[in-house]
Amino acid sequence: MFIEQSDGEIAGVSLELLGAGRELADKLEVPLSGILLGDGVRKLSSRVIGYGADIVYVIDHPVLKNYRTESYMRGVNFLAGKYKPEIFLYGATPNGKDLASAVATDLSTGLTADTTMLDVDVDKRLLEASRPAFGGNIMATILCKKNRPQMATVRPKVMKALPFDETRQGTIIDEEISLREEEMRTKVIDVVKDITKKANLADAHVIVCGGKGIGDAKGLQLIHELANTIGASVGGTRDVIEAGLLPHELQIGQTGETVTPKIYFAIGVSGAIQHVVGMKNSELIIAINSDPHAPIFEVATYGIVGDAYEIVPKLIEQLKQIRVEQGGEVSYV
Ligand SMILES: Cc1cc2nc3c(=O)[nH]c(=O)nc-3n(C[C@H](O)[C@H](O)[C@H](O)COP(=O)(O)OP(=O)(O)OC[C@H]3O[C@@H](n4cnc5c(N)ncnc54)[C@H](O)[C@@H]3O)c2cc1C
């Protein structure tokens, strides 16, 4: 799998992929390998092994300092040609998607984009890459029967990283390719970091998500008040975002953010598949909905059936009381 890094830091999705890849490799009884490309990145190999890899192939080269399609594709294609992997995974980040599509084209193989579930058919040695399809109404499992490697990009935050094990042993293989800056068709002039609120939502420990069932100005005020009381971040379903009640970067779901907080409040949220794919891996889900048959209750840890406009103010009152009793702090541990 492609281990994405920037400024010497491995992307979270690559660590998650190592966890998912470990499971697939064990089923297929093959080693799990990571590809690390960059400038001065060899030192990251021990982390890649500690998170689950057996082998790390490293190409350390100044031309690979910043991600560029051409140079990274050449590195991956060289390694794929030499070691012939059965399966090749990438994080579905902007760079991961860009690289995967370029490699797939060059190697004339298939690519399943934005996967949310992975498995293998051990007998047929086929990767089963599943993702929402047809407007998110069904989950489609996509196979690449004829060409190799079988490739997929995997959405961040849907797989679970293994705990880091510093005692794990693996092999580091240094490789070299000929790359010259003059040959590159693109130059990186500057790298500008994107510091947006999005990161807050993806990293939030507690999220209060408002759906259409509480989707008016009064309802959203309650959502914000509940979030403020417990130090949570606010998110919304697409319906709430499209109604202009919350900004786009706070949308959770298939076409929004994927989140994995410790606690997720789904308030007035029906639990449509396109929403659920973005939050189902939250540790604890508390749903409030007036319809006892709402699909959100199928993924909820705790469900409260009733009118959110009545329940949420009571919840806020009780949580404020707990805060006072705890000396102003709310602990989620
Ligand atoms: C291609 C595609 C991509 C999509 N991407 C996303 C996405 O990223 N994120 C997303 O969220 N959606 C997405 N959607 C939309 C998705 O299908 C649903 O339409 C949307 O999630 C529904 O939002 P909702 O739960 O807020 O509203 P609804 O489905 O209308 O549900 C409202 C819920 O509130 C309950 N309710 C009503 N009144 C009350 C009350 N007083 N108290 C308590 N409960 C109450 C109702 O019982 C109901 O269950 C996408 C759709 C498509 C086709």
Angle of helix 217-230 versus helix 308-325 axis, rounded to 10: 20
Q: How many Å apart are CA 224 and CA 228, to the nearest integer? A: 6
Would you state the CATH architecture of domain 2-183? 3-Layer(aba) Sandwich (3.40)
Q: Degrees (nearest 5) of the Cα angle 248, 265, 328?
A: 105
Q: Which atom of ligand 1 is nearest to the CA of 308?
A: 42
The single residue listed with the structure tokens 């994080």 is 91
* 244 contact partners, CB below 8 Å, separation of at least 6: none
Query: Across residues 107-111, what is the average pLDDT?
Result: 96
Q: In what order do the strands lie in the sheet with 138-142?
A: 117-121, 126-133, 138-142
- To which H or E segment does residue 111 belong? strand 111-115
Cα of 249 vs centre of ligand 1, distance in Å, is: 17
Q: CB within 6 Å of ligand 1 — which residues?
A: 135-136, 211-213, 237-240, 251-256, 268-270, 272, 274-275, 278, 288-291, 294, 307-309
Query: Across residues 118-131, what is the average pLDDT?
Result: 97
Cα of 198 vs centre of ligand 1, distance in Å, is: 21
pLDDT of residue 279: 96
Cα of 200 vs centre of ligand 1, distance in Å, is: 22
Cα of 311 vs centre of ligand 1, distance in Å, is: 19
Residue-wise pLDDT for 203-224, tens only, equals: 899 999 999 999 999 999 999 9
Q: How far is CA 254 from CA 156, 274, 279, in A?
A: 12, 5, 9
Residue-wise pLDDT for 142-179, tens only, equals: 999 999 999 999 988 889 999 999 999 999 999 999 99
Cα of 257 vs centre of ligand 1, distance in Å, is: 15
Report yes or no: 289 and 215 within 8 Å, Cβ to Cβ: no
Query: Does the model's pTM come out above 0.95?
Result: no
Report yes or no: 153 and 92 within 8 Å, Cβ to Cβ: yes
Cα of 120 vs centre of ligand 1, distance in Å, is: 32
* β-pair partners for 208: 234, 265
Residue 31, number of CB atoms within 10 A of its CB: 11
Q: What percent of the chain has pLDDT over 70?
A: 95
Name the residue with the closest Cα to ligand 1, atom 51. Answer: 274
* DSSP letters for 139-186: EEEE---SSSSEEEEE-TTSS-PPPP-TT---EEEE------GGG-S-
Residue 199 has pLDDT above 70, yes or no: no
Cα of 210 vs centre of ligand 1, distance in Å, is: 9
What residue ranges of the chain are covered by domains with CATH 3.40.50.1220? 201-325
| CATH code for the domain defined by 201-325 | 3.40.50.1220
Name the residue with the closest Cα to ligand 1, atom 41. Answer: 307
- Whole-number average pLDDT of the chain: 93
pLDDT of residue 196: 46
Residue-wise pLDDT for 4-45, tens only, equals: 999 889 999 999 999 999 999 999 999 999 999 999 999 999
Residue 198 has pLDDT above 80, yes or no: no
What residue ranges of the chain are covered by domains with CATH 3.40.50.620? 2-183
Pocket-testing residue among 198, 223, 238, 265, ligand 1, by greatest number of atoms within 8 A of Cβ: 238
Residue-wise pLDDT for 301-333, tens only, equals: 999 999 999 999 999 999 999 888 877 666 654
pLDDT of residue 194: 59
Report yes or no: 252 and 272 within 8 Å, Cβ to Cβ: no
pLDDT of residue 7: 86
Name the residue with the closest Cα to ligand 1, atom 37. Answer: 213
Residue-wise pLDDT for 279-300, tens only, equals: 999 999 999 999 999 999 999 9
pLDDT of residue 8: 87
pLDDT of residue 307: 98
Q: For residue 1, what is the DSSP state?
A: -
